Chain A
């Protein structure tokens, strides 16, 4: 929960009074994105297609190109249209902005490598071939269009067919191309969410609300509109930006819906200052009621379920489970915790560290050890990303395996599975399996990072190999299509065999974020409204939304 503070701190203007917030915001924008300003090319007519492709060029270097880029843009725009009320106008604004931002493509790749370096070195190697190739395309223009379409076909090949509906726009990599109305706090939050700095359903929800609070504080109603009408639109830009960084969580959606409702219910005659104060209060109350206090209530009532001598199994790192366990420990209960973790996020590590530092007895294993960890378990505590209306638990991928193992233990004794979930995470969506509703994360996260290398003055052999490949690819990608180039170019020592997976035909990597646990595996859902069976989820959801 410390995370939500970060976006707030990164935005200077919000504390200042707002005599001329519009100008302030624009100056702030320029300070946030210095790299996008200098180029300023005026050939705006053809340019708008470029920057939206920016994220794609990182995710799949081969995919970018002239015409296909525009094709790619239109479905994405359609999606935005559905969300924003004034899509046409905004698109125009956007186009203007991007025209002025011009070759935002230039700073794009430059901004990307530091991020990749921090998340995965294996993928970091890919940046090197991407850059020279890209700059070359800029020079050649349409000459490479044919090869670009060919490459695009290959890139789409990497999407797992069953999950085809979930591959939307690739996640945004930079803040370049974001609309000028996007508040810096939101800009920062978007990147934090994309990098899993702010991760977890509740944390993202709180962080979003806090960022929106700043947005509202910095907002002035333009002439000729009313706050209750225009602010919703203004927020929509922020929301659209956030959702391009990472798809919004159910809790974020619920919170935003509540906030929009609050905005639209403000009487237009109310002066702006007091309206904004009302909204700030609303946000504070919402966070307190739905998350902070709710968490305390849940932790207390879930901790009651823990008894001396229990062995609690949990999966990945849920903040509410952490709070529950710490609460129970503070109550003097003696129990053991077994954490099961999974690749690629290893969220359980943080949980293990926190609990161990607090003094609990912690056992840690990965997904392969589920059946061993569950053997001594007496209770399973799970966090939730959401609870669907048909009583299923939608949570970090792997949760279903843990719940299933708990229910089918060989001894015949079932281990109770207890889900801790705030009602803000309840949704009226239904899901039968994990394929209908899910989120696809960047598959490169699965490529194991290279072991740390000693820093010497010598050129990195990995880079050499990569640039060599980049050169050969320039000549023509026919060779790449026929034979996996990974075989021809020797991989650097210690590199993962998956390093070149995108160039390897027929090989796909799938990195889904969530799975759906059948309702029969869940014995109890602990919410701030009490402990319920999973079948009660739709009733509670209706109650809490009608309030």
Chain B
């Protein structure tokens, strides 16, 4: 892999850098190997890498035929998903892009149908236009827009691209007239760029809801180091004083947690490059109490709210999150403490879990028992699960960039974001 050798450590940053220079097939292979070797992990990094790769794949695909485009994206997507089936966001992004292409292609054909639906989608447009709430722009993406009438008149059938991402979806205030001339590919590229934008902004959008959920003098318990949770708490910390109890999630993520908590990151993880500039909560005068994971039950009786990050969210309202989350959620349930999960919509996967074990990834057992206890490793079976499946009944509320939802409502958001035919692409 020539691209990985030129970067210091292979990862998201080096991949994105190499994406511009490398031929497309090399990039695909590169990402596959990065995913397989777990050099790109964390949902957001995977999602970003996938989105950029697909952007490149689509722009390199010199066709305006939607069917071919779909086929190409599907084949790339299948390989990516096969490389790391447990990173569900990869599949999510592929599905989103596929949905985009289909929308673009079908908008035209369904123009007549759109007319009838147009009145329904209209109320949503002004709300999204204000730009403050970018998240609400997602549903219209898949929804036909009234302006498609224009293109119906101006373009013949197969060639046409409809402004499937209507003006409401782009904050840049794209005018209807500009869109008309673009082909399917350009439209899709636009849409993928929007997905990438969404990935960048999702945490801030979620954080906007923080003040609704965190109040003065509350005691909040959280677990492991999640940027989404940190931003959420930071937003609330700007206005209110509360206490945060932080479980360290030993042994897989405790170093990052310690760094998050104390505000001095020793690790040079490039994934955290943006976050590392972020102030720690303690700098805003928030008392942060770091505890070992085992003390969660002991402290839960004093906790007002549990706020958790997640790895991915499943359509049934359950979630896959870092190991230890399940007992925390369970302990919260026992103590009648509300559990709030903050997660970007991109983590929401249309997968219904039937086999929970297949969702769980196991990590490096040397984190559990180090090499200094080598004799022990030979004799016993050391387990280090990275993820927990948390059933929906343990979660009280999901906060996504679209707002707060009950776990039972998630299937609705799933169907807003993914098309039926793409669920098993």
A147 at the interface (CB under 8 A from B): no
Q: Is the CB of A486 within 8 A of B384?
A: no
CB distance from A376 to the nearest CB of B (A): 11
List the one stretch of A219-227, A277-285, A295-303, A499-507 in contact with chain B.
A499-507
Q: Is the CB of A356 within 8 A of B290?
A: no
Q: 7 A–B contact pairs at CB < 8 A?
A: A366-B368, A366-B384, A370-B324, A400-B331, A408-B330, A435-B302, A497-B265
Nearest first, the 3 closest Cβ-Cβ pairs linking A and B are A398-B294, A434-B298, A356-B379
CB distance from A322 to the nearest CB of B (A): 14
Q: Is the CB of A349 within 8 A of B282?
A: no
Alpha-carbon separation in the docked complex, A498 to B289 (Å):
12
Residues in B whose Cβ lies below 8 Å from that of A396: 294
Q: Is the CB of A364 within 8 A of B287?
A: no
List the one stretch of A101-109, A324-332, A508-516 in contact with chain B.
A508-516
Q: Is the CB of A433 within 8 A of B301?
A: yes
Residues in A whose Cβ lies below 8 Å from that of B287: 506, 508
Residues in B whose Cβ lies below 8 Å from that of A462: none
B252 at the interface (CB under 8 A from A): yes
- Which of chain A's residues has its CB closest to B297's CB? A400
CB distance from B242 to the nearest CB of A (A): 12
Q: Which of A357-371 contact B (CB under 8 A)?
A: 357, 361-371
CB distance from B49 to the nearest CB of A (A): 26
Per-residue CB contact flags for chain A residues 388-427 toward chain B (1 = under 8 Å, else 0) read 0000000011101100110010100000000000000000
Alpha-carbon separation in the docked complex, A497 to B253 (Å):
13
Per-residue CB contact flags for chain A residues 199-240 toward chain B (1 = under 8 Å, else 0) read 000000000000000000000000000000000000000000
A165 at the interface (CB under 8 A from B): no
Q: Give the interface of A toward B (CB within 8 A).
A: 160, 162, 342-344, 349, 352-353, 356-357, 361-373, 396-398, 400-401, 404-405, 408, 410, 433-435, 438, 446, 448, 484, 486-487, 491, 493-498, 500-501, 504-512, 514-516
Q: Give the interface of B toward A (CB within 8 A).
A: 248-252, 254-255, 258-259, 261-266, 281-283, 285-299, 301-302, 322-324, 326-327, 330-331, 334, 360, 368-369, 373, 375-376, 379-385, 388, 391
Q: Is the CB of A162 within 8 A of B334?
A: no
Q: Is the CB of A506 within 8 A of B288?
A: yes
Q: Is the CB of B376 within 8 A of A369?
A: no
- Which of chain A's residues has its CB closest to B391's CB? A410
Query: Given contacts A372-B360, A504-B282, is CB(A365)–CB(B262) below 8 Å?
Result: no
Alpha-carbon separation in the docked complex, A510 to B384 (Å):
24
Residues in B whose Cβ lies below 8 Å from that of A365: 368, 382-385
- Which of chain A's residues has its CB closest to B243's CB? A161
Q: Is the CB of A401 within 8 A of B331?
A: yes
- Which of chain B's residues has its CB closest to A315's CB? B294
CB distance from B380 to the nearest CB of A (A): 4
Q: Is the CB of A511 within 8 A of B292?
A: yes
Query: Given contacts A397-B295, A438-B298, A507-B282, is CB(A368)–CB(B290) below 8 Å?
Result: no
Of A487, A497, A501, the most chain B CB neighbours within 10 A belong to A497
Residues in B whose Cβ lies below 8 Å from that of A400: 297-298, 331
Q: Is the CB of B380 within 8 A of A501?
A: no
Query: Given contacts A349-B369, A364-B383, is CB(A516)–CB(B285) below 8 Å?
Result: no
- List the count of A-B residue pairs having beta carbons below 8 Å apart: 203
Q: Is the CB of B292 within 8 A of A397?
A: yes
Residues in B whose Cβ lies below 8 Å from that of A484: 262-264, 282-283
Q: Is the CB of A495 within 8 A of B290?
A: no
Alpha-carbon separation in the docked complex, A507 to B245 (Å):
10
Grouping DSSP codes into helix (H, G, I), strand (E, B) and loop, the B interface class, with mixed when no group exceeds half, is: mixed
- Which of chain B's residues has its CB closest to A370's CB? B327
Q: A504 contacts which of B262, B323, B369 (Cβ < 8 Å)?
A: B262
Q: Is the CB of B298 within 8 A of A509?
A: no
- Which of chain B's residues has its CB closest to A514's CB? B298
Residues in A whose Cβ lies below 8 Å from that of B376: 349, 352-353, 356, 364
Query: Given contacts A367-B293, A438-B298, A507-B288, is CB(A372)–CB(B369) below 8 Å?
Result: no
Q: Is the CB of A357 within 8 A of B379?
A: yes
Query: Given contacts A344-B292, A495-B266, A507-B290, is CB(A448)–CB(B254) below 8 Å?
Result: yes
Alpha-carbon separation in the docked complex, A410 to B327 (Å):
12
CB distance from A423 to the nearest CB of B (A): 25
Residues in A whose Cβ lies below 8 Å from that of B298: 397, 400, 433-435, 438, 512, 514-516
Q: A507 contacts which of B261, B299, B330 (Cβ < 8 Å)?
A: B261
Query: Given contacts A364-B369, A497-B262, is CB(A352)–CB(B380) below 8 Å?
Result: yes
- Which of chain B's residues has its CB closest to A511's CB? B292
Residues in A whose Cβ lies below 8 Å from that of B283: 484, 506
CB distance from A326 to the nearest CB of B (A): 15
Alpha-carbon separation in the docked complex, A498 to B254 (Å):
11
Residues in A whose Cβ lies below 8 Å from that of B383: 363-365, 369, 372-373
CB distance from B362 to the nearest CB of A (A): 9
CB distance from A384 to the nearest CB of B (A): 16
Residues in A whose Cβ lies below 8 Å from that of B369: 349, 364
Residues in A whose Cβ lies below 8 Å from that of B299: 162, 434-435, 510
Q: Is the CB of A371 within 8 A of B290?
A: no
Query: Given contacts A401-B331, A491-B266, is CB(A364)–CB(B296) below 8 Å?
Result: no
Alpha-carbon separation in the docked complex, A364 to B365 (Å):
10
Residues in B whose Cβ lies below 8 Å from that of A361: 381
Alpha-carbon separation in the docked complex, A116 to B177 (Å):
73
Alpha-carbon separation in the docked complex, A514 to B294 (Å):
10
Q: Is the CB of A505 within 8 A of B250?
A: no
Query: Given contacts A365-B384, A368-B249, A372-B385, is CB(A434)–CB(B289) below 8 Å?
Result: no
- Which of chain A's residues has its CB closest to B334's CB? A404
Q: A498 contacts which of B258, B301, B384 (Cβ < 8 Å)?
A: B258
Alpha-carbon separation in the docked complex, A363 to B101 (Å):
49
Q: B297 contacts which of A410, A434, A504 (Cβ < 8 Å)?
A: A434
CB distance from A401 to the nearest CB of B (A): 5
CB distance from B265 to the nearest CB of A (A): 7
Query: Given contacts A373-B383, A491-B266, is CB(A367)–CB(B290) below 8 Å?
Result: no
CB distance from A516 to the nearest CB of B (A): 7
- Which of chain A's residues has its CB closest to B333's CB? A408
Q: Is the CB of B295 within 8 A of A515?
A: yes
| 20 further contact pairs, Cβ within 8 A, besides A353-B379, A367-B292, A487-B264 | A343-B294, A365-B384, A368-B322, A368-B385, A369-B323, A369-B383, A371-B327, A371-B388, A410-B391, A433-B298, A434-B299, A484-B282, A504-B263, A506-B287, A507-B288, A510-B291, A510-B295, A512-B291, A512-B298, A516-B298
Q: Is the CB of A356 within 8 A of B380?
A: yes
Q: B373 contacts which of A162, A342, A349, A397 (Cβ < 8 Å)?
A: A349
Residues in A whose Cβ lies below 8 Å from that of B282: 484, 504-507
Residues in A whose Cβ lies below 8 Å from that of B293: 342-343, 366-368, 398
Query: Given contacts A487-B263, A497-B266, A505-B282, is CB(A364)–CB(B331) below 8 Å?
Result: no
CB distance from A349 to the nearest CB of B (A): 7
Residues in A whose Cβ lies below 8 Å from that of B266: 491, 493-497
Q: Is the CB of A508 within 8 A of B289?
A: yes
Alpha-carbon separation in the docked complex, A349 to B368 (Å):
10
Alpha-carbon separation in the docked complex, A516 to B255 (Å):
28
Q: B251 contacts which of A368, A505, A509 (Cβ < 8 Å)?
A: A368
Alpha-carbon separation in the docked complex, A435 to B381 (Å):
35
Alpha-carbon separation in the docked complex, A457 to B255 (Å):
29
Q: Is the CB of A509 within 8 A of B289?
A: yes
Query: Given contacts A343-B250, A404-B334, is CB(A446)–CB(B295) below 8 Å?
Result: no
Q: Is the CB of B250 within 8 A of A367?
A: yes
Q: Is the CB of B301 within 8 A of A510?
A: no
- Which of chain A's residues has its CB closest to B285's CB? A506
- Which of chain B's residues has its CB closest to A443's CB? B290
CB distance from B212 to the nearest CB of A (A): 24
Query: Given contacts A357-B379, A362-B380, A487-B263, is CB(A367)–CB(B294) below 8 Å?
Result: yes
Alpha-carbon separation in the docked complex, A507 to B244 (Å):
10
CB distance from B383 to the nearest CB of A (A): 4
CB distance from A496 to the nearest CB of B (A): 6
Residues in A whose Cβ lies below 8 Å from that of B251: 366, 368
Q: Is the CB of A486 within 8 A of B331?
A: no
